[in-house]
Amino acid sequence: MARRSWTHRTRAQSRGAVSILMVVLLATIGMAALVSIDVGHVFYRQRQLQSVADMAALAAAQQLRRADTNAVMTERALAAAQASGTQNGFSGAAREDCGTSPGGEDGMTVCAGVWDPNDATAAAGGRHFRGGYDPTRMSPNAVRVVVSQTVPILVGLPGGEGRRLRAEAIGNASPPVAAFSVGSGLLNFESSRSALALLLGNTISLSASDWQGLVNTTVTLDQLRLKAGVGTVDELLNAGLSLSQFYALVLGAANKESLLNAMLGGMPAIIDARALAAGLNVGRVLDLGVLAPAMSSAADVGLNVAELLMLAAQVANRGAAVDLAGAVPLLPGSQLALRIVEPPRMAVGPVRRSTTDPMGWETTARTSQVDLGIKLQLGAEAEGESELLNLPLRVELATARTALTGLRCSAARADRRATLNTVTTAAKVCLASEDLAQCAESDVVLVNALILKVIASPKQQTVSGTSMTSTLAPGEQTSTTSPGQLAALVEALARNLDVKVRVNLILTTLNLDLKLGGIVSALSSVIFSVLGPTLDGLLAALGIQLSNADLWVHDVDCDNTRLVY
């Protein structure tokens, strides 16, 4: 009897132990299921929060494409991030915070700053983002958005009310940019070849098809950077180069190395020395109207190869007198020299207002500032002979400046447009001093024959500047050049001369004040009918016009906004 009672209790105890284990097991499984639901919910909310951050960063970065002051762009970016967050179901408030560890409390922090993949000091975590920068040197090209939110725990476990989630995104965008130049006369092969030969001091052995290939070819700043072997666009712009090195860089980046010897063969060493002394670099021929490191936004815009070569040759000859007598048919004893006071610059940049530039716009191109000295002589083949005519002239050629005032972007390159405003200064021609370096301040002897001397008072003639607005597609060119302007200007000066005639007789001297400008004008007209067309062509190839300008839009780049972190 005792044995049966003991067996019954053992079985009952076993059944009770199994029940307890089953309860514990079921509770564990239930708890694991609930924890899994919570973990899944947290991961889902994290992905949702990351999506909010991504969309807000892209929306905010798009505001940087509208070039404006840094303060205005930051304000727009903050408003765009807030609107994007609300649209995507995030109710937290957005605030500006460029701290190193933002997102400590629920909400959205927005920071407009600088993203530069080549900035090693800001490479922590792969961000390459810097919230602090010098606004006088740089403009923001990226927006960092950090979104923080506390997610409630679905199963109320002891130890906390919820889990704080954090998502971060960096959107990069730069305004669309255009590359353009003013005063391009590169389409005329003969004039362009003659102009380059004068500037380089050698014989250019290019064919017309070779030159046309250069005119039709573009290179980007990024291609030039890779060819130069430097890390950043800024390093490329500031790397000092001789003219030979500059030509090798540009032609190499354009896969035109075979033309290097045809252009530079026989060039005097002094040209390279002048280029180094003038501080030739890529930055000297480009007015990059975007601030670093948003220079990267201009890295993919096309730059015309022929234009770069012509501009560099003019930079190398800055301040030097270029003798044009061999290129322009002149009378014996006559002189013709050109001096580049300030070389031209191509422009690459966005549409941006300026409070300091006279035109009111940040991105501007300009032609050369050039002085031209002309001394026309007739009847003075040998030293000491009397001169039938001596007409010393100094021409201050007009400069033109063109500002980028508008851009229209499109997916198709052919549908993009750049709006340019061009203003030219007044051109001036005057009777020159003996060395042709400045306008004469005293009477000038025009004729010094045996018994006859003709003297003219100082005189000058001007052509007023012009202004025009043009809208061009990439690769398009417009011209408002009228031929023979220099000849017309000189004739107008000669026609209005106040002339004194002194006749030396045997016993006396006769002094007569006469209006003989018509005679001088007729003589200069005959001379310039031969000299004018060739000289005008040379000046056009150098990008120089008297009162008008040629415009050329090389490329328009509309970069897309993207996430970089």
- pLDDT tens-place string over residues 40-51: 777 888 888 888
Buried-state track 147-174, b at ≥16 Cβ within 10 A, e below 16 = bbbebebeeeeeeeeebebebbbbbbbb
Helix (H, G, I), strand (E, B) or coil at 179: strand
List phi, psi (to 5°) of 145: -120, 125
> For the residues of 274-317, what is the DSSP string, one character each?
HHHHTT--HHHHEEE-S-BTGGGGGTTSEEEHHHHHHHHHHHHT
Over residues 256-268, mean pLDDT: 88
Least confident of 179-183, 260-264, 448-452: 448-452
Position 419 scores a pLDDT of 92
Q: Say whether 29 sits in a helix, a strand or coil.
A: helix
pLDDT band at 484 (very low <50, low <70, confident <90, very high): very low
The pLDDT-based confidence of 483 (bands split at 50, 70, 90) is very low
pTM value?
0.68
84 vs 161, residue with greater confidence: 84
Distance CA 293, CA 414 (A): 28
- Residue 353: pLDDT band (50, 70, 90) is confident
pLDDT at 425 over 50: yes
Q: Is the pLDDT of residue 67 over 70?
A: no
Q: Identify the DSSP state of 198.
A: H
CB atoms within 10 A of CB 409: 15
**Which residues, in sequence order, are bridge partners of residue 349?**
178
State the pLDDT confidence band at 407, using cuts at 50, 70 and 90: confident
pLDDT: is 544 or 468 the higher one? 468
Per-residue pLDDT, averaged over 402-413, amounts to 85
pLDDT of 547 higher than 60:
no
Phi/psi at 111 (nearest 5 deg)? Answer: -140, 120
Residue 255: predicted pLDDT: 92
Kindly state the average pLDDT of the residues 464-474. 83
Q: Is 235 helix (H, G, I), strand (E, B) or coil?
A: helix
| Residue 160 region by backbone torsions, left for phi larger than 0, else alpha for psi between -120 and 50, else beta | left
The whole-chain average pLDDT of the chain stands at: 76
Residue length, the chain?
565
> Could you tell me the sign of the dihedral formed by the alpha carbons of 99, 105, 111, 114, in that order?
positive
Q: What is the pLDDT of residue 325?
A: 60
Supply the pLDDT for residue 203.
Answer: 77
Per-residue pLDDT, averaged over 240-250, amounts to: 92
What share of the chain in percent tops pLDDT 70?
A: 69
> Do residues 420 and 474 lie in contact, with contact meaning Cβ atoms separated by under 8 Å?
no
Q: Would strands 107-115 and 142-152 be described as parallel, antiparallel, or unpaired? A: antiparallel
